[in-house]
Amino acid sequence: MATDWTVRAITRAMLPVLLVLTVIEIGSGLVLGSFEGDLLMYPSLLILVPVTIGTAGNLGSVLAARLSTAFHLGTLSFAPDDETFAGNALATIALALTVFPVVGGGAWLLAVATGGAALAPGTVVLVSSLSGAVLSLLAIVVTALATYVAYQRGLDPDDVVIPVVTNVCDVLGVVVLFGVVKMVV
């Protein structure tokens, strides 16, 4: 194992990355703050925020973990028609198209249950599904880029790619949600 289990060694390994990621996440918070008015007006959208951020990050991290493993096993090449990459990219899109409509429906139902939804259920499902579709494509691009950069620099994708991809997808989750809300609502 790379790091000793002392507070100092763990902090030295973790804190610098953690602080950089925190700055990135504040960027996503600033985007969120810029449409706070919409979010406060429509409770279903506010309920959508954590689950959209989380699901976007998870889509990226699941893909990143699978690509990292394939990379370690030597079954991943970086040709654009690589089977492992294309298959996993396809699965990422399919997962997003399965999960995000459920997320939208769930958010609307919970808004109704906790004090009333101001938006029609179709609108919330549309916002969520559209965000999910765009996010899955972005997650694929970000993950492929991060895995490739890690590979070129000789870094272990497990250490670098998963936290970077998860947090970048968190931010993109908010940005895409913002764009879709401004477009649809």
Crossing angle, helix 83-113 and helix 43-73, to 10 degrees?
A: 160
Shortest separation between residue 154's beta carbon and another protein, angstroms = 21
Q: Which of 124, 131, 166, 176 binds another protein (CB under 8 A)?
A: 166
Query: Is 183 near another protein (CB under 8 A)?
Result: no
Query: Is 16 near another protein (CB under 8 A)?
Result: no
Shortest separation between residue 4's beta carbon and another protein, angstroms = 9
Decide: residue 148, CB within 10 A, 0-12 exposed, 13-18 middle, 19+ buried. middle
Shortest separation between residue 49's beta carbon and another protein, angstroms = 6
Site string for another protein, 125-154 (x = CB under 8 A): ------------------------------
Only one residue has tokens 């179709």, namely: 122
| 48, 38 contact by CB (below 8 A) | no
Q: Which of 129, 165, 167, 180 binds another protein (CB under 8 A)?
A: 167
Neighbours of 63 (CB within 10 A): 27
Decide: residue 58, CB within 10 A, 0-12 exposed, 13-18 middle, 19+ buried. middle
Which region among 43-51, 123-131, 137-145, 176-184 touches another protein (by CB under 8 A)? Answer: 43-51
Query: Is 19 near another protein (CB under 8 A)?
Result: yes
Q: Which two tokens stand for residue 77?
A: 């090449």
Shortest separation between residue 124's beta carbon and another protein, angstroms = 12
User: Which of 19, 61, 17, 35 is closest to 174 using CA atoms?
Assistant: 35
